[in-house]
Amino acid sequence: MPDPNWQPRIVAFFCNWCTYTAADLAGVSRLKYAPNVRVIRLMCSGRVDPQFILDALARGADGVLIGGCHIGDCHYVEGNLKTLRRFQMLKRLLHDLGIEDQRVRLEWISASEGERVKMVINEMVEQVRTLGPLNLPKRFADWDREMTSLEESIREKEREEAEVVHA
């Protein structure tokens, strides 16, 4: 049974020049969007190492959102293109490893599109809410529970042996 108090947790990597500025604009425009997103500002979406995405998921994020400039608008000319290429392969890899497609999303949002930040975040939060918790730390612990009983019996045996030596 999923926890009734569970709320989706989404890690967002936003580029400094476009999407983060758009999120700022959404803020100063007093647009309300779901509070489930933790935004991390990077200079460019091209800085998002695929390791960051996997690490966020492995540490308990239910989804990861990446925001960058529209193709052609990158402050560093091609950073977002590199992201797009990596992202396509990463999506295939994540699919093969059982992570639902909607948990990881790439969006191009320019500095003027505050409204779009709100729309994308709200939509993604709802999609992830429908999918339910990913909770990989708990899954890792569940996987390793199959070793517990053997480990305990070994510890028990060691304790008994230690007592024999002392007696």
Residues that bind other proteins (CB under 8 A): 46, 49-51, 53-55, 57-58, 71, 81-82, 84-86, 88-90, 92-93, 96-99, 134, 136, 139-140, 142-147, 150-151, 154, 158
Closer of 11 and 26 to other proteins (Cβ)? 11
Cα separation, 22 vs 15, whole angstroms: 10
CB of 27 to other proteins, least distance (A): 31
CB of 103 to other proteins, least distance (A): 10
CB of 63 to other proteins, least distance (A): 14
Rg (CA), the chain: 22
CB of 151 to other proteins, least distance (A): 7
Closer of 11 and 25 to other proteins (Cβ)? 11
Query: To which residue do tokens 């091609």 refer?
Result: 78
Sheet-wide strand order for 37-42: 37-42, 10-15, 63-68, 104-108
Three-state SS at 100: coil
CB of 58 to other proteins, least distance (A): 5
Q: Is the dihedral of CA 83, 85, 89, 95 positive or negative?
A: positive
Three-state SS at 104: strand
Cα separation, 149 vs 87, whole angstroms: 41
Closer of 112 and 158 to other proteins (Cβ)? 158
Closer of 30 and 145 to other proteins (Cβ)? 145
